[in-house]
Amino acid sequence: MSKLIAGAYAGEIFTIVFIVSYVLFKKIDTKNLAGRIYGQILWRFYKIALLELLILFILNTSFYTFILILGLLGNIYLSYYMKSLKQSIGDIDKVDFNAPIRVKFRTISKISSLLLVFNMILAIIYVLR
């Protein structure tokens, strides 16, 4: 059962990072709207993922499950930080692409995505071990 939960978690991350974000940011003309939609999807994912990881931790308390939870919590923290940064920016499409605040926002967004991918890889390793 625990491998099924970890596999579902990895699949959800793959879907959000590699399919949903790609479609949103390529097909929607404004980054502001695409980001708002993506943010709403992420916040819903966090609730489901946290529940999955807590169940996984209860079923199998291990180093992997602990690291998976820490990775997700790190992502939630980064999302809160990006949300507050976004509120200070306003409409991101009206800010110059090379403005320091937008570069900072983009950097944090990339770190958040990398952390999700790292968590996905750990979940895959958990399933395969």
| Per-residue confidence in pLDDT tens, the chain, 129 aa | 889 999 999 999 999 999 999 999 999 989 889 999 999 999 999 999 999 999 999 998 888 899 999 999 999 999 999 999 998 888 888 889 899 999 999 999 999 999 999 999 999 999 998
What lies within 8 Å, CB to CB, of 32 at 6+ separation is 91, 92, 93
Helix (H) or strand (E) holding 50: helix 31-59
What is the C-alpha R_g of the chain?
A: 16
Could you tell me the pTM of the whole model? 0.87
**Strand spans (E) along the chain:** none
Interatomic CA distance for residues 128 and 116, integer angstroms: 18
User: Which residue type, as a one-letter code, is found at position 59?
Assistant: L
